[in-house]
Structure 1
Amino acid sequence: MRERHASRNARRAREFEAFVAGAAGRLLHAATLLTAEAPDANPRARRLLALSLAHTYADWDRLHGEDPYDRARQHLATRFARAAWHRYGALGRTRRHPAGPLGGLAPQERLLLVLRLYEGVAEEQTAALLGLPVERVRTICDRATAALLRPPPSPARPVTADARAATP
């Protein structure tokens, strides 16, 4: 009995290690996009990934044919949404602008863009995962995409006294 239990635990650990070896890089990139951190300095993304993988490992025996990557992505998204809600309130009404490529977007916009465009999750699935209407997911995703494609102009540099004197 004890050997069978040890054998099952070893098999479970090998399966999970194989899953992590194949999926961790992509999940870390998604977490880095969500947190809008720089890829080489992403402690929040790494913590988000570690917690999501730990939750997935805890559920490993209960997956019963379900895609472990999908489960890990769900944990990643919901954990990020919950943390953003607590940190910024209402998913980003008052926030600082992180430095990553999606840093100018609100956390909810980042979450929807990452799920829809980077991960390829359907609108209906994204809406169900986050408890939002499909139309709201579409609107936020469209607005975020437009903001990325047409960023606001950078503020003009102030004119100095030397520049004024140089103009005829």
Structure 2
Amino acid sequence: MRDRQPARGAHRAREFEAFVAGAAGRLLHAATLLTAEAPDANPRARRLLTLALAHTYARWDRLRGEDPYDCARQYLATRFARSTWHQYGPFGRARTDPRSPLAGLTPQERLVLVLRLYEGVAEEQAAALLGLPAERVHTLCDRATATVLHPARQTPPRPVGRRVAPS
């Protein structure tokens, strides 16, 4: 019986390592989109990823047929939603990198857009995950998509110069 414990632990570790090797890149990209940080400077996204992977590892033996990627993605999304709510309030804007195409979105809009379009989560599933009505998720996704595809144009600054008085 004692000989089985180390073998089971090693097998669990190998399975999890294989999962991380396959999923960490995509999860990090999703986290970077959520935080709207630059891909080369994304400490908040890396922290989200670390927490999601730690949570998934803690549940690894209890997943029993569940998709570990889905478990990690759900934790990533809910952790992001909770942290932005507590840190910035329901309508606040987190620090974003202006180079990010999602920087102009609210955290909730980014979350819905990433879940729906990048991760391919169905509207009803996203609504259930976030505790929102499906209609609200639909509206947020539409608004976020329109903002990303058609950003507000900044009016060019008017040239400053001397006015010539009429003669």
Please, what TM-score do these two structures have when normalized by structure 2?
Answer: 0.93
CA distance change for structure 1 residues 120 and 157 in 2, over 3 Å: closer, same or farther?
same
CA contact (8 A) 2:84 2:94 kept: no
Structure 2: any 5+ residue segments left out of the alignment? none
CA distance in 1, matches of 2:107, 2:32: 12
1:35 and 2:35 matched: yes
Q: CA RMSD in A?
A: 1.2
**Runs of 4 or more off by more than 4 Å in structure 1?**
none
Q: Which residue of 2 aligns with 1:72?
A: 72
C-alpha distance in 2 between matches for 1:147 and 1:74 = 25
CA contact (8 A) 1:31 1:46 kept: yes
CA distance in 2, matches of 1:96, 1:88: 6
Match of 2:82 in 1: 82
CA contact (8 A) 1:34 1:111 kept: yes
Instruction: Quote the offset at 1:115 in angstroms.
Output: 0.2
State how 1:37-116 maps to structure 2 within 5 Å.
Answer: 37-90=37-90, 93-96=91-94, 98-99=96-97, 100-116=100-116
Matched position secondary structure for 2:103: coil
Contact 1:123 1:134 in 2 (8 A): yes
Alpha-carbon distance in structure 1 between the residues aligned to 2:95 and 2:152 = 14
Contact kept, 8 Å, 1:56 with 1:71, in 2: the verdict is: yes
Name the CA shift for 1:145/1:97 in 2 (closer, same or farther; >3 Å): farther
**3-state SS of the aligned residue for 1:2?**
coil
Amino acid corresponding to residue 83 of structure 2 in structure 1: A
Aligned to 1:142: 142
Q: For residue 50 of structure 1, report the CA deviation from its aligned partner.
A: 0.2
Change (3 A) 1:96 1:132: closer
CA distance in 2, matches of 1:130, 1:96: 19
- How far apart in 2 are the matches of 1:97 and 1:138? 25
- Counterpart CA distance in 1 for 2:94 and 2:70 is 30
Summarize deviations over 1:107-132 as a string: whole Å, max 9, x none. Answer: 00000000000000000000000100
State the match for 2:128 in structure 1: 128
2: CA distance, partners of 1:42 / 1:30: 11
CA distance in 1, matches of 2:68, 2:14: 14
Instruction: Give % identity.
Output: 72
Residues 52-94 of structure 1 show CA distances to partners (whole Å, capped at 9, x for unaligned) of: 000000000000010000000000000000001011111xx13
CA–CA separation in structure 2 for the residues paired with 1:125 and 1:157: 45
